[in-house]
Structure 1
């Protein structure tokens, strides 16, 4: 009943189509979980951080877990063991081959995160993070690109040099990011870099040819050697050439 009101991806996997309890005083606890009252009694669903705040002891696990509790008693545990996408390892390897450092920021526990690190060969991991802690790490990292899809990633996405949101995630993440990857395919992160590099090359080419036009045309005009009609035509030709060169990007093939 609690998780039916949460936007977290794990909450969606707990979706129940039967009758749910009526909730009052429902509120999300950022980076930790959700709470609400059923028949006047408070219930909490969330991670181990939330349980520790309630002074409850929870077992260590290598999986991602959602705990259900009352104020003074642990009631249930839901364990999640998701598969790593097949393209994850290759995407990370490609990015590392381009000189980038792959770091995972997660609210999950360290044991769970280490499993992922070993599977996809991440350079570094930070675990048990709140949304604010993710944002602090990103903001302290020069030229950081943050990739995320959840509500808990939104602050970090907004604070990164480049915020790249996955379209399969939450709306708030896409609003916070600078770029949205359509389809949720991880390999498109490498495509983003490829498109960026090609765009920068076009910009430099356009600057070069515009500079050459002016380098030749301005001295000729200053010496009175350039007919005003020809000067106007040359300026128009300069603008057209820049536009046409930029439009060639649409013909560029990317993976």
Structure 2
């Protein structure tokens, strides 16, 4: 069943992600980077909601295979546009982090041994490849932590909020400038992203254009569009 609240979460994540990437057109727009820190926690929350809506134990479904398959395909397809736009990045695009996060969330939600082993393997792989993963180990653990918090509520939301903040500290500049105003703003935005997402999820009475599978293709296409505009501006 379509959820307007979930679509609101996805739209907010998409729009703040695009705002963040507009920095490649206006490098001095530091505020866009700060605003963009909303995007990743909201994408992780969307994964947690999608996983939580399935029946616990129903791991081997066509929908789950399609979900992981799309993420893996676009992890490959997005790397070229991402690297072309940000050739100085030391990490992969965000898609591998989300794919591993999905495996962790499945390990939390489904009781099968294969789901649990997959989640553990994803976390171990994240630890081994932490330098190359955007948002690192905290980012991979975040969807699973959101799933736990949604089922338990209350103070359990503290863990995903802390993971959202810790994920940003995998950025070496932020980590080396902990007391800089930009770092403090980034951590504050990361901390409030999930409460904001929770509020959006409850807005099921709003009318909103659904975010369909086109959302996967939007990621590489918007990177290519920004790179093209960057070329026009610099020409």
TM-score normalized with structure 1 length:
0.30
TM-score (norm 2): 0.32
Q: Relative contact order (C-alpha < 8 Å, sep 6+): which is higher?
A: 2
More helix by share: 2
Higher strand share: 1
